[in-house]
Structure 1
Amino acid sequence: MTASSNQELRFLDEATLSALKELIELLEKSSLSSVRYEQEISGVRHSVELSKRAKDSKFLGNIDPSSFCGPEPVKEQILSSSEGSVRQDTLYWVRSPLVGTAYVALKPGADPLVKAGDQVTVGTPLLIIEAMKVMNIIKSPVSGRVKEVRFADGHPVEYDEQLLGIDTQA
């Protein structure tokens, strides 16, 4: 226990602190993930919850990070668009960097920042994602022509979701 946790536990007597130390040792040796100790003193209920650190968890050790990270494999297919067909392998997908609500314009009723068919350069504002009341402007990381828009204005988007397809060969 640290000095700050001792101050937080000042309502406990030495016998109770000793019992808590034993509980900590038992918790470390057992398969339990947490233990809660409650005590009522003068009509006031005090509780202490002890839990294992995440690095000790059996659940985290079995996850393979490559199963949810990394680039999506490129599949060559023909997509139809308003300007004819474009090969999938020439599209750069702008992905959502966070979970939030996507907007096509800077304010309601304004013209969209970009739409299918628009030419963009590096740094061109593409869309806005609102997350926790903060408006995040997403800018183009590549130059090309916007071929596909895969989100609806004012609708939620997920992390890493494909939002815009930009043809880098156009």
Structure 2
Amino acid sequence: MSDEHKQMRIDAGLVRELAELLSANELSEIEVEDGDRKIRVRRELTVAAAPVQHLVAAAHQLAPAQAQAAPVDTATEAPVFTGDMVRSPMVGTCYLSAEPGAPPFVAVGDTVKEGDTLLIVEAMKVMNPISAPRGGRIVQLLVENAQPVEFDQPLVVIE
């Protein structure tokens, strides 16, 4: 039998161990090489999206001590917004002012016009202004300065 037609013998125990390592360490892929042999074990990870009420509740945690003080029932404690929610169009870092020490673009109670800058999201060293989709009054800021933000995370509520 020529080398082309040789089949690799698979060590089922090794594959099982690698699969257990994937699960135990929350990895998506692991590869092992031994001379000419190479074994790669891969699994598809599915990420369940957290309900919005949990994201909003997390944005309202002011201090770690308060978060640990007592369990919070987010189903009853989740705030109800009456205005339009402005969400982050990208993953990045949120800045409430143009530069350190400068006044914030907006504050709760301010009136804004459509197109006014509400805040900046920095992504990959690019500063992206987030503008008001419509005119109105700022009723809630859901982020803090220099806070990391996720795609579609609520940032500001305009009424």
* Range class of TM-score, shorter chain: 0.5 to 0.7
Deviation at 1:88, TM superposition (A): 4.2
Match of 1:99 in 2: 91
CA RMSD of aligned residues (A): 3.9
Residue 33 (structure 2) aligns with: 37
Q: Alpha carbons of 1:89 and 1:133: their partners in 2 closer, same or farther (altered >3 Å)?
A: closer
Instruction: Tell me how far apart the structure 1 counterparts of residues 43 and 155 of structure 2 sit (CA, whole Å).
Output: 37
Q: What residue identity is the alignment partner of 1:94?
A: V
Q: Which amino acid aligns with 2:135?
A: S
Q: Which runs of 5+ in 1 are unaligned?
A: 1-12, 40-45, 73-86
Is the contact made by 2:117 and 2:132 (CA closer than 8 Å) also made in structure 1?
yes
> Match of 1:113, as an amino acid?
F
Identity, % of aligned positions: 36
Rounded Cα–Cα distance in structure 2 between residues aligned with 1:38 and 1:124: 60
Is 2:40 the partner of 1:50?
Answer: yes
Alignment-derived partner of residue 60 in structure 2: none
Hey, what's the Cα distance between the residues in 2 that align with 1:141 and 1:107? 23
Q: Report the number of matched residues.
A: 122
C-alpha change, 1:49 and 1:68, in structure 2 (3 Å) is: same
TM-score by length of structure 2 reads 0.54
**AA matched with 1:144:** G
Q: d(CA) in 1 for partners of 2:31 and 2:106? A: 54
In the alignment, which residue of structure 2 is the partner of 1:122?
114
Per the TM alignment, residue 99 of structure 1 is displaced from its structure 2 partner at its CA by 3.5
Distance 1:140 1:47, change over 3 A: farther
Q: State the structure with more CA Rg.
A: 1
Q: 1:36 to 1:128 in 2, by over 3 A?
A: same
Deviating above 4 A after TM superposition, structure 1's stretches of 4 or more consecutive aligned residues are: 30-35
Q: Deviations over 1:16-52 (max 9, x none)?
A: x742xx64xx7xxx8965552321xxxxxx7745234
TM-score by length of 1: 0.51
Does the aligned pair in 1 maintain the 2:81–2:157 contact within 8 Å? no
Distance (Å, rounded) in 1 between the aligned partners of 2:111 and 2:146: 23
More strand by share: 1
Equivalent position SS for 1:97: coil
Structure 2 gaps of 5+ residues are 20-29, 54-78
Alignment check: 8 A CA contact 2:94 2:122 kept: yes
